[in-house]
Amino acid sequence: MSNVLIYVEAENGAAKKSSLEAVSYGAAVAEMLGGKAVAVAAADLSADHAGELAKFGADKVLHFGGTVNQSSEIAELVAAAAQQENAAVVVTAKSINADLAVPMIGVKLKASVATNVTALPDLSNGFVVTRAAYTGKAITQVSLHSNVKVLSIKKNASGTKEYNKTLAVESFNANISASKITVKEVKKQTGEILLPEADIVVSAGRGLKGPENWGMIEELAKTLGAATACSKPVSDMDWRPHHEHVGQTGIKVSPNLYFAIGISGAIQHLAGVNSSKVIVVVNKDPEAPFFKSADYGIVGDAFEVVPKLNEALKAAL
Amino acid sequence: MKILICISHVPDTNAKIPFKDGQPDLNGISFVIAPYDDFALARAVELRDETKGKLTVLNVGLADTEPTIRKALAIGADDAIRVNAHPHDAFYVASQIAAIAKQENYDLILMGRESSDFNGGQVHGMVAEMLGLPCVVPCMKLDLNGNVAVMQREIEGGKEVVEVATPFVAGCQEPIAEWKIPNMRGIMSAKTKPLKVVEPVAVENYTHITKYEMPPQRSSVKMIDKDNIGELVRLLREEAKVL
Ligand SMILES: Cc1cc2nc3c(=O)[nH]c(=O)nc-3n(C[C@H](O)[C@H](O)[C@H](O)COP(=O)(O)OP(=O)(O)OC[C@H]3O[C@@H](n4cnc5c(N)ncnc54)[C@H](O)[C@@H]3O)c2cc1C
């Protein structure tokens, strides 16, 4: 029992970037264990795109013909696939639906679970994973003892890696029970880069004074191909939608580059962003606490700095 | 309606946590109801009032968590259960909650979407799976219409509205309700509300935290003049290599 099963979530027919990272992560773990990396996906991944998973390390794809819209359905699909493949480790990228499926899979497979994993496991002494705790104020090493382990990984836990594998795509059948939850309405912004998937995030706070001033933030995000985010008071006041709120009580992001504009850098805000690779802070107050947690800082008025930064980036990129 | 609210007892979110010999040093740190659980508690109190029901608060913890449980009673829970055990991990805690819920048949089991100490976000899903109940996470609005709940749930890039009949489990987040601050009457009455201590059921532990450490610190910030923005762009490309 040394195979690794990876759950792949798709968007518009193609695997999400975070799921491709999960495939590469799973392939690396399979190599360590001497097993195969098997991906499982539902019909949201189109047959054309299923083949691409080999490039990221999958040896095989189990392609389920139906859809799985609810976490309980994902859990049933993944547990059935893990059992068929005798998987020792189940891997998924974090997402709203996968996050809730993970504990359900854990119970179904009598597995130990670690969420928000930030690096490849250490197998030198059992099976030890690294994950953040105390809202990013600590890193913990967690040893998992049960036969089966279920891991949800954060963005940038291992990155993607190119493989040169030949892939077998198999159709997969599982009995999925109908969910007791009825979806009545979905309100989703389309055409935007989703915050948890974004490599670059442009985030702004109360320093922007009002929702009417977000135009320049959106412009900057567009130039960078970035997602937009905000601090908690900004979403509390309805200047921005709630799903953009990052921090201890919001979304936790770990992009390559995080811009914090007019955000003071309260400990609860940092909790959601401090695992970003590089942080740039723009604040008119040289004493703003955020500068202590930044890689690059500019002291200045956002209304002056942001348009200039946007021009400079447009010229350079 | 019979409502169960599960709370965790966590370090104050403003606290700096020092680490000694690979373990957190929690001496002198004040503890609070975990922020997401606090949102769920606030809504649970309102729903109890609306349905003229009963609200029980549950915590898996040793005796030192009792002041936190009393705070939930002061905010409005009617009675409390403390499972007398160290909350070893999510599976352990979920097993304790499920064992109690099996006897009590709650209509609603609410808690936060995750705790702010271990940030696992697993307990709601595990409890639901153990009890065979539907589970909605992250729930940001919850209204009852008889025994049917209409909930708003956050999804990537938006939200969805879902309906589910009781009983179910929900992991909550803001803006489900405003945090409630206990008033004097609440604090006084909390002292005499029933707090039952029960012994845990036996559960095997599958996980073990072997070490805590500080997250890697950033090297000191490089300041760039606001009149020299081209320099920032250059550094992001050539030094940080993120553009
Ligand atoms: C339990 C709990 C949980 C919380 N969870 C979160 C969370 O998840 N996320 C979160 O963000 N917060 C959270 N908070 C709130 C947090 O403590 C801060 O209050 C919040 O982050 C402050 O937001 P802000 O930086 O946008 O606003 P402020 O603190 O008001 O800071 C505004 C900043 O903008 C700067 N500024 C003003 N004008 C300009 C200008 N023209 N140009 C440039 N800079 C300017 C100011 O110097 C200041 O630094 C939480 C608090 C608690 C108690």
Indicate yes or no: CB of A181 within 8 angstroms of CB of B163. yes
Confidence of residue A15 (pLDDT cuts 50, 70, 90): very high
pLDDT-based confidence at A262, cuts 50/70/90?
A: very high
Q: Which residues contact A60 (CB under 8 A, 6 or more apart)?
A: A36, A37, A38, A39, A167, A168, A169, A170
- For the four alpha carbons of A206, A209, A214 and A217, in that order, the dihedral sign comes to negative
- pLDDT at position A191 is 67
Q: Quick check: helix, strand or coil at residue B85? A: coil
Nearest-by-Cβ selection for A257 from B156, B209, B236 = B236
Residue A51 near residue A179 (C-beta atoms within 8 A): no
Q: Which residue does chain A place closest to B25, by CA atoms?
A: A138
pLDDT of residue B17: 85
Question: Which among A112, A180, A187 has the least Cβ separation from residue B134?
Answer: A180
Q: Which residues pair with B207 in a beta bridge?
A: A144
Asked if the model's pLDDT at residue A118 lies above 70, the reply is yes
The parts of chain B modelled with pLDDT lower than 70 are none
Interface ipTM = 0.94
Residue A189 pLDDT:
78
Directed axis angle between helix B90-104 and helix A96-108, to 10°?
Answer: 80
Cα A265 to averaged position of ligand 1 atoms, centre (Å) = 6
- What are the tokens at A243? 């799903």
Percent of chain A with pLDDT over 90: 84
φ, ψ (nearest 5 deg) of residue B221: -70, 140
For residues B125 and A79, is the Cβ–Cβ distance under 8 A? no
With bands split at pLDDT 50, 70 and 90, how would you rate the model's confidence at A278?
very high
Block residue for tokens 């250490």: A122
pLDDT for A192 beyond 80: no
Contact A71 B125 (CB under 8 A): yes
Q: In this predicted structure, what is the pLDDT of residue B208?
A: 93
Q: Give yes or no for residue A313 having a pLDDT over 90.
A: yes
Average pLDDT on A53-77 reads 96
**Tens-place pLDDT, residues B80-119:** 999 999 999 999 999 999 999 999 999 999 999 998 888 8
Reported pTM: 0.91
- pLDDT tens digits, one per residue of A133-176: 888 888 999 999 999 999 999 988 888 889 988 889 999 999 99
Cis peptide before B167 (omega within 30 of 0): yes
Q: Are A204 and A273 in contact (CB under 8 A)?
A: no
8 Å CB contact of A309 and B229: yes
B93-116 per-residue burial string, b: 16 or more CB within 10 A, e: under 16: bbbbbbebbeeeebbbbbbbbbbb
CA distance A93 to A180: 25
Interface of A with B in 274-303 (CB under 8 A): 274-275, 277-281, 291-300
